[in-house]
């Protein structure tokens, strides 16, 4: 079993559903963000729920599933485009067991379950990442890319390198669950 990852109890707010959100993270428009439970939002992460469609009604801008890990310094903002002269943001949906590495910028439309995005990645607007895909560290995914299930993408611009093993789902699930269980408050 790996060693615990300790965090300062004062820095993180823990919700009823087990989400752990750093007080040093910027959660803009929290009423438009859904966290599925047991999700960790690290220090310096910026989640822009305030960027939402214009017009009436409540809009879910960003939804994250269970056991997601948003690394330090990540920026997550909904994708946007101008359509018929109207500028609009579109929702971002992220599945369960998704690990986003430090300092990555994500403007994807959809990220499936059991997805790993490395450190220092740029995920372009309206990208769709299917289940069990892996984006390697320092990869730039151009806007509107579709990354197939069980695919490894590397480079700038990111391109397909190889298929991942069928066991990817179990591996990613156990890694994210282990990280969450190791992420423990440091009692002072």
d(CA 20, CA 40): 5
Q: What is the pLDDT of residue 183?
A: 92
* CA separation, residue 58 to residues 32, 34, 50, 91 (Å): 8, 12, 11, 12
DSSP states along 83-143: ETTEEEE--EEE-SS-EE-TT-EE--SEE-SS-EE-TT-EE-TT-EE-TT-EE-TT-EEPT
Per CATH, the homologous superfamily of domain 5-186 is: Hexapeptide repeat proteins (2.160.10.10)
CB 155 within 8 A of CB 142: no
pLDDT < 50 regions, the chain:
none
Q: Compute the radius of gyration of the chain from its Cα atoms.
A: 16
In the chain, where the domains are located: 5-186
Q: What is the pTM of this model?
A: 0.93
Q: What is the pLDDT of residue 29?
A: 93
């Amino acid at each position: 079993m790996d060693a615990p990852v300790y965090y300062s109890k004062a820095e993180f707010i823990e919700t009823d559903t087990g989400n752990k959100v750093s007080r040093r993270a910027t959660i803009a428009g929290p009423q438009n963000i859904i966290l599925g439970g047991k999700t960790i939002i690290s220090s310096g992460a910026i989640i822009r729920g305030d960027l939402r469609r214009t017009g009436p009604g409540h809009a879910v801008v960003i939804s994250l599933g269970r056991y997601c890990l948003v690394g330090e310094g990540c920026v997550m903002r909904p994708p946007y485009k101008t359509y018929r002269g109207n500028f609009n943001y579109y929702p971002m949906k992220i599945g369960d067991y998704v690990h986003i590495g430090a300092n990555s910028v994500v403007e994807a439309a959809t990220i499936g379950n059991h997805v790993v995005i490395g450190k220092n990645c740029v995920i372009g607007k309206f990208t769709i990442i299917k289940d069990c895909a892996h984006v390697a560290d320092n990869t730039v995914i151009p806007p509107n890319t579709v990354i197939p299930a069980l695919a490894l993408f590397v480079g700038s611009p990111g391109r397909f390198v190889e298929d991942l093993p069928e066991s990817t789902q179990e591996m990613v699930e156990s890694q994210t669950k282990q990280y969450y269980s190791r992420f423990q408050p440091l009692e002072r």
